[in-house]
A and B are shown apart, each in its own frame.
Chain A
Amino acid sequence: MYLARVIGRVVATRRTPGLEGVALQWIQPLDASGAPSGRALVACAVISSGPGDLVHYVDGREGALACPRPFVPVDAAILGFVEEVARAEREER
């Protein structure tokens, strides 16, 4: 599971069966300091996240398990909002 920032939405009306009603969003993975790390990807959102939100997500087979129907062709899903990351020395939003 990883930390990421939602950077956009993806709209695709024609989809594979099972993906109806699932929100697709662009997310940018972040490193431990909150800086962008690696390539952005498209993930399903099982929470009501939107651009700008700090979130955590899961990839691989577990992405599909998070969806309302678990047998869907999905390889990443946003699992939750991150309100804050509390560190020993400082806190960031």
Chain B
Amino acid sequence: MFLAQVVGTVVSPVQHPVLDGESLLLLAVLKPDGSPTGTTRVAIDRARAGVGERVLVVDEGNAARQVLGRDGAPVKTVIVGIVDYVELDGRLAYDARH
């Protein structure tokens, strides 16, 4: 799993039927310190995340199929959580709490 920043919503009107009804988000993958690695993912949103939020992402087929509850689905990347805060080397590296 890794952390990522939601950078946009992906509008896909015609796609594999397994993705019907799912919302897709464009993610920038992050390093532990919160800076972007430069890599990008398209993920199924199962945590109701919004643009700008920092999210926890699983990028493995069996885990993704388990989250969706669909055997044999051609899916890999799913947002499974929204990050409240990150501690790194004993310090707060990210804090979204108010």
Contacts and interface: CB of A to CB of B under 8 A. Distances in A.
B38 A31 contact: yes
B75 A62 contact: yes
B6 to A, nearest CB: 9
Interface residues of B, number: 32
A62 B9 contact: no
A77 B76 CA distance: 12
Interface in B47-98: 51-52, 61, 72-77
B1 interface: no
Given A47-B14, A62-B74, A86-B11, A3 B40 contact: yes
A24 to B, nearest CB: 16
A65 to B, nearest CB: 4
Interface of A: 1-3, 29-32, 37, 46-47, 56, 58-66, 70, 77, 79-88
Given A30-B40, A86-B8, A81 B74 contact: no
Given A56-B24, A62-B76, A87-B7, A2 B16 contact: no
Contact of A80 (B7, B14, B41, B52): B14
B73 A82 contact: no
Nearest to B9: A86
Nearest to B43: A1
Nearest to A47: B14
B16 A85 contact: no
Given A1-B76, A3-B26, A31-B38, A85 B15 contact: no
Contacts of B12: 56, 80-83
* Interface hub of B11, B38, B73 (most chain A Cβ within 10 A): B11
Contact of A79 (B16, B27, B43, B61): B16
B15 A79 contact: yes
